[in-house]
Chains A and B, each alone.
Chain A
């Protein structure tokens, strides 16, 4: 199946199941991308996994993202990338949310692989995954008190004193 056909096929299945206007299809290079509303994500991924003709059995990856210049309702995003081993079909699901509400249902009941990836998204962006068995930091030190990939924090280490302007004649 070529990519646009595949995307349309998945889109049609979703519309038939969840109704009109629940997902928006985009084609990014060779990848069908579906942007869906937040309240639906868990049921929709459940459907993509368990529906017989779709059968996306594998969660390739997932991650968080922060777009500081986007509309406030679209500031934070999560991305799930799924793979159907049998037909070698792949699809990407995106969901956006405002900073005030970073709660999301954990996908660990569907794919245990989501466990560490959700911990990473929590660690770096502060998403809260309800139903996650062990939601704590995974890569950063435990006593870090912010989420470093959010754009409002500087990338540099804040504890250095050798980069003040006076040392460079500025």
Chain B
């Protein structure tokens, strides 16, 4: 007997529908597309990176959220996932990776270390990556479980879906980047 499985790949945005047409705003269509095809760049430097491996593997399967394809080139990535301790020496490298990514781009900071330096309150460790690049979503935990990473990822998806197409041109956004000295 055939089982009836309800497959719901992506929600349809609000709009006006009729015979052979569907009307909605461009923002929503683009948001829908971007949200379900994020290409993350995993910047994994230590233990939190191991949790990410679990997140990406079959048990938790991040591909269910449309990020089947990890990008190891910043030029093709639109989500920077920073997982692990970032030493001060690594700071400029992280920043360079961020600068190489094309707009629009988002940043997910995973774990206590990336968020705040974590247990490493030390001369050699950057006390939170938001000292060198802007961060969209913080995931606490040392390390956070894959479920938490996925929740953080879904928060990013929500931001992506609802972001206005003009946000990246706004004065506010430019000012934010300006505080980090990024053009």
Task: Judge whether A157 and B117 touch: CB under 8 Å.
Answer: yes
Q: A141-B88, A157-B117, A157-B125 are in contact. List 16 more A-B contacts (CB 8 A).
A: A139-B89, A139-B124, A140-B123, A140-B124, A141-B89, A144-B88, A148-B124, A155-B122, A155-B123, A156-B121, A156-B122, A156-B123, A157-B127, A158-B123, A159-B127, A163-B121
A133 to B124, CA, bound (A): 26
Residues on the B chain within 8 Å of A158, using CB: 123
**A160 within 8 Å of B by Cβ?**
yes
Given A141-B88, A141-B89, are A148 and B121 also a contact pair (CB < 8 Å)?
A: no
Interface residues of A in 145-168 (CB under 8 A from B): 148, 153-160, 163
Q: 25 A-B Cβ contacts within 8 A?
A: A139-B89, A139-B124, A140-B88, A140-B89, A140-B124, A141-B88, A141-B89, A141-B91, A144-B88, A148-B123, A148-B124, A153-B123, A154-B123, A155-B122, A155-B123, A156-B121, A156-B122, A157-B117, A157-B121, A157-B125, A157-B127, A159-B127, A160-B121, A160-B127, A163-B121
Residues on the B chain within 8 Å of A155, using CB: 122-123
Q: Is the interface of B mostly helix, strand, loop or mixed?
A: loop
Task: Quote the shortest CB–CB distance from B120 to chain A (angstroms).
Answer: 9
Residues on the B chain within 8 Å of A153, using CB: 123
A160 to B125, CA, bound (A): 11
Identify the 3 closest CB pairs spanning chains A and B, nearest first: A148-B123, A141-B89, A156-B121
Task: Name the residue of chain B whose CB is nearest to the CB of A143.
Answer: B88
**Chain B 79-108, CB within 8 Å of chain A: the 1/0 string?**
000000000110100000000000000000
Q: Is the interface of A mostly helix, strand, loop or mixed?
A: loop
A148 to B123, CA, bound (A): 7
The size bracket of the interface on B is 10 to 19
**Chain B 115-150, CB within 8 Å of chain A: the 1/0 string?**
001000111110100000000000000000000000
Task: Name the residue of chain A whose CB is nearest to the CB of B121.
Answer: A156
Residues on the A chain within 8 Å of B89, using CB: 139-141
Interface residues of B in 51-67 (CB under 8 A from A): none
A7 to B122, CA, bound (A): 40
A141 to B122, CA, bound (A): 14
**Chain A 66-84, CB within 8 Å of chain B: the 1/0 string?**
0000000000000000000
Task: Name the residue of chain B whose CB is nearest to the CB of A137.
Answer: B89
Task: Name the residue of chain A whose CB is nearest to the CB of B131.
Answer: A159
Task: Name the residue of chain A whose CB is nearest to the CB of B88.
Answer: A141
A50 to B91, CA, bound (A): 45
Task: Name the residue of chain B whose CB is nearest to the CB of A154.
Answer: B123
Task: Quote the shortest CB–CB distance from B45 to chain A (angstroms).
Answer: 15
A163 to B122, CA, bound (A): 13
A160 to B127, CA, bound (A): 7
Residues on the A chain within 8 Å of B121, using CB: 156-157, 160, 163
Task: Name the residue of chain B whose CB is nearest to the CB of A141.
Answer: B89
Kindly name the residue among A141, A155, A157 whose own CB sees the greatest number of chain B CB atoms within 10 A: A157
Residues on the A chain within 8 Å of B122, using CB: 155-157
A103 to B56, CA, bound (A): 52
Residues on the A chain within 8 Å of B117, using CB: 157, 160
